[in-house]
Amino acid sequence: MQNPLTDYIIELKLKKLYHRDKASIEELLNSRAGRNLLPYEIVFNDQVDWEKLKDSFPELSEYYHKACVIYSNYRYLIRRKTPLPTVKEKIQQEDVRKFFEVLRALEC
């Protein structure tokens, strides 16, 4: 029997930071680097229907929420075809630094 978590492969936007072109949801959730980058992958990768995945896989809910917080605070710097939901919550200081690291990596 196939496992949708293992089989769902994502073309990553943060290839430089994760050092891979593609990864499954399971790989992202099971690696420290994947968990650290997942909210930012959600923010910048609008080719994936994260809303649908979040509903299918509850493990993604906290990362999706964090991505919405990041997006809400910096949406003027982010280009997406479909916006993420707005959350009226301040971004944590550690996430500010990480956001700009990710933004720089995308520009290179």
* pLDDT for the residue numbered 108: 73
Q: Please, which residues have CB within 8 angstroms of residue 96's CB and are 6 or more apart in sequence?
A: none
Would you kindly state where each structural domain of the chain is located, as residue ranges? 4-107
Which among 91, 58, 29 has a CA at the least distance from the CA of 10? 29
* pLDDT for the residue numbered 4: 53
pLDDT digits (tens, 9 = 90+) for 18-55: 999 999 998 999 999 999 999 999 999 999 999 999 88
* pLDDT for the residue numbered 8: 82
- pLDDT greater than 70 at residue 1: no
- Written as six digits, the tokens of 89 are 């919550």
At residue 10, what are phi and psi to the nearest 5 degrees? -110, 135
pLDDT confidence band for 7 (50 / 70 / 90):
low
Q: Is 57 exposed, middle or buried (0-12, 13-18, 19+ CB in 10 A)?
A: middle
